[in-house]
């Protein structure tokens, strides 16, 4: 009897429901449903449509039934840092305000007046992004104190979907670390920080690790779906699942390339030294208490916005072709500037940045895409240099995973900029890592090493080498 698991991988731009099972020594994927994810304006905040997303998850489960497959388990992963609060009746008290919302503007600086930046980093090892959960909760405390007083349960986005499926309340470790409220050494909520910030410690749930079987889907949903399923915790932070699917290579750097570009290495201990702080690297939690030593680079969000502003007249591959044709055009911007986090109009913002720097101003879709891709490649190169500076040794290979690994032009730019071998794939690395954790919990895969061997045997990888005469 074949054991199937269902991965629900919801990124900032799209969600997908992917069945996985092992057959003839390979992990076989079957995408059963894909849906849009988007930011919406609600009560002057930028929010996620969590009720719609949960309805999409249920639709994905029903699509399995339609093709006659009843997965034994389901696991959900999403983007990091964002959360909802429940009241004492377990009703949702807050909208799922998105990390791109402006409510955290200035909050990080205010928190540093209460807790020294260096202490925060030494205890949590987490990068300073103004949208970290810590600053979102601090903003909520300042702007809506009554709401926070009523809050009895803190659930991150995947935790909330798990609660809707099972009725069980739990925080998952890899995603909890992204809050900047988990101690990197105890692996528990840092009650010293919670007290210093005046946050209600009781609302934080017990932290559970990936591969935990949370429990069965609740009866009223099981009656609707038609079969019983166990909810298993993958690395519910999507990048945590993506990195799980990486080859076990000590000399390689990964870029999880999607809405964000997460560039880093896998480690067995947190690195909270001053140089890591100065470079703003993070130590997010991974499977089996490994660490994802990485940093956020603005990523393909910028291209997603350009595509949207052209009313999706160009596909991603067409934008790549147009960028390739714009050989005459060269302008570079700092993609990680706050101005690109959520501008009113990304095209205007990129043009303004070029104009202010006295560079040629991109006018066409191709020139805009080329400016963004070349600037991303430059940012990747800088991050690779920082990693090699911290580890005091060179790395030979860069593994690019996620949707962005399909961008052959950017992969080549990366190989040329860093003078390193670039291995691209798999595209659905996050779902693969999600499924691997579930299949480990079900005993279908023994451990992470076996999972990584299985993944290498199952998915193609395309290699790019630095080219002397690559016309940019």
Ligand X SMILES: C[C@H](O)[C@H](O)[C@@H](O)C(=O)CO
**Which amino acids are annotated as binding site for ATP, given as ranges?**
12-16, 259, 304, 403
Closer by beta carbon to ligand X, 80 or else 384: 80
Instruction: Assess contact for 127 and 264: CB atoms under 8 A.
Output: no
Instruction: Assess contact for 451 and 290: CB atoms under 8 A.
Output: no
Q: Which stretch binds Mg ion (CB under 5 A): 256-264, 276-284, 316-324, 433-441?
A: 256-264
Non-local CB neighbours of 24 within 8 Å, separated by 6+ positions = none
Is 11 a binder of Mg ion (CB under 5 A)? yes
Q: Which stretch binds ligand ATP (CB under 6 A): 18-26, 114-122, 299-307, 378-386?
A: 299-307
Is 182 a binder of ligand X (CB under 6 A)? no
Active site residue 238: yes
Separation between Cα atoms, residue 404 and residue 227, nearest integer Å: 36
Non-local CB neighbours of 395 within 8 Å, separated by 6+ positions = 251, 252, 253, 265, 384, 387, 388, 420
**Contact flags string 67-96 toward ligand ATP, x per CB under 6 A:** ------------x-----------------
List the Cα angle 379/382/385 in 5-degree steps. Answer: 150
Output the smallest distance, CB 77 to Mg ion, in A.
8
- Give the one residue of 125, 234, 258, 425 binding ligand X; rule: CB under 6 A: 258
Is 258 a binder of Mg ion (CB under 5 A)? yes
Output the smallest distance, CB 430 to ligand ATP, in A.
6
Q: Which does 320 bind (CB under 5 to 8 A by kind): ligand X, Mg ion, ligand ATP, none?
A: ligand ATP
Closer by beta carbon to ligand X, 72 or else 140: 140
Is 407 a binder of ligand ATP (CB under 6 A)? yes
| HEC string for 387-404 | HHHHHCCCCCEEEEECHH
Is 296 a binder of ligand X (CB under 6 A)? yes
Is 318 a binder of ligand ATP (CB under 6 A)? no
Separation between Cα atoms, residue 244 and residue 234, nearest integer Å: 10
Is 411 a binder of ligand ATP (CB under 6 A)? no
For residue 238, CA distances in Å to 17, 316, 354 come to: 13, 22, 33
For residue 361, CA distances in Å to 99, 210, 329, 346, 442 come to: 29, 47, 9, 13, 55
Nearest residue (beta carbon) to ligand X = 79
β-strand partners of 284: 292
Q: Which of 346, 467, 369 is nearest to 418 (CA)?
A: 467
Closer by beta carbon to ligand ATP, 61 or else 300: 300
Helix 316-325 crosses helix 408-418 at what angle (to 10 degrees)? 50
Q: Which stretch binds ligand ATP (CB under 6 A): 289-297, 298-306, 383-391, 460-468?
A: 298-306
Phi, psi of 137 (to 5 degrees): -70, -35
Q: What is the SS3 assignment for 193? A: helix
- Give the one residue of 11, 20, 240, 264 binding ligand ATP; rule: CB under 6 A: 11
**Contact flags string 68-87 toward ligand X, x per CB under 6 A:** -----------xxx------
Question: Which residue do the tokens 């066409």 mark?
Answer: 364
Selected catalytic residue, list 238, 288, 338, 460: 238
Give alpha helix (H) positions in 395-464.
408-418, 429-441, 448-458
Binding site for ligand ATP (CB under 6 A): 11-14, 79, 238, 258-260, 300, 303-304, 316-317, 320, 402-404, 406-407
Binding site for Mg ion (CB under 5 A): 11, 238, 258, 430
**Active-site positions?**
238
Binding site for ligand X (CB under 6 A): 11, 79-81, 99, 237-239, 258-260, 262, 296
């Amino acid at each position: 009897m074949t054991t199937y698991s269902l991965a629900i991988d919801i990124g900032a731009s799209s969600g997908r429901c992917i069945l996985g099972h092992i057959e003839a020594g390979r992990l076989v994927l079957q995408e059963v449903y894909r849906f849009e994810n988007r930011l919406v304006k609600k009560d002057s905040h930028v929010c996620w449509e969590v009720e719609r997303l949960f309805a999409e998850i249920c639709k994905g489960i029903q699509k399995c039934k339609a093709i006659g497959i009843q997965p034994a388990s389901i696991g959900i992963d999403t983007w990091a840092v964002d959360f909802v609060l429940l009241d004492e009746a377990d009703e949702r008290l807050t909208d799922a305000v998105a990390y791109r919302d402006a409510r955290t503007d200035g909050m990080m600086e205010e928190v540093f007046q209460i807790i020294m930046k260096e202490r925060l980093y030494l205890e949590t090892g987490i990068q300073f992004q103004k949208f970290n959960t810590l600053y979102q909760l601090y903003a909520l405390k300042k702007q809506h104190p009554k709401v926070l007083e009523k809050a009895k349960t803190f659930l991150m986005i995947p935790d909330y979907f798990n609660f809707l499926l099972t009725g069980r309340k739990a925080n998952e470790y890899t995603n909890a670390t992204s809050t900047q409220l988990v101690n990197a050494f105890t692996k528990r909520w840092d009650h010293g920080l919670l007290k210093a910030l005046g946050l209600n410690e009781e609302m934080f749930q017990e932290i559970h690790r990936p591969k935990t079987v949370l429990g069965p889907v609740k009866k009223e949903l099981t009656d609707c779906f038609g079969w019983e399923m166990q909810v298993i915790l993958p690395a519910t932070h999507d990048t945590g699942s993506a990195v799980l699917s990486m080859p076990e290579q000590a000399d390689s750097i990964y870029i999880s390339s999607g809405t964000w570009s997460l560039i880093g290495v896998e480690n067995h201990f947190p690195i909270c030294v001053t140089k890591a702080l100065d470079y703003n690297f993070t130590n997010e939690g991974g499977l089996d208490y490994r660490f994802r030593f990485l940093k956020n680079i603005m990523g393909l969000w910028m291209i997603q916005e350009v595509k949207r502003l052209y009313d999706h007249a160009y596909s991603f591959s067409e934008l790549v072709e147009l960028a390739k044709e714009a050989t005459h055009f060269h302008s570079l911007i700092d993609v990680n500037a706050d101005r690109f986090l959520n501008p009113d109009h990304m095209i205007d913002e990129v043009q303004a940045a070029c104009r202010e720097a006295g560079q040629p101003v991109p006018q066409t879709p191709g020139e805009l895409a080329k400016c963004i891709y070349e600037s991303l490649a430059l940012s990747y190169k800088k991050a690779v240099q920082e990693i090699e500076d911290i580890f005091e040794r060179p790395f030979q290979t860069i593994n690019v995973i996620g949707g962005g690994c399909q961008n052959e032009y950017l992969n080549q730019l990366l190989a040329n900029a860093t003078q390193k071998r670039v291995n691209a794939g798999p595209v659905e690395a996050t779902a693969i890592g999600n499924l691997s954790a579930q299949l480990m919990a079900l005993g279908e895969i023994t451990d992470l090493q076996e999972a990584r061997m299985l993944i290498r045997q199952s998915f193609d990888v395309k290699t790019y080498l630095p080219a002397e005469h690559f016309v940019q």
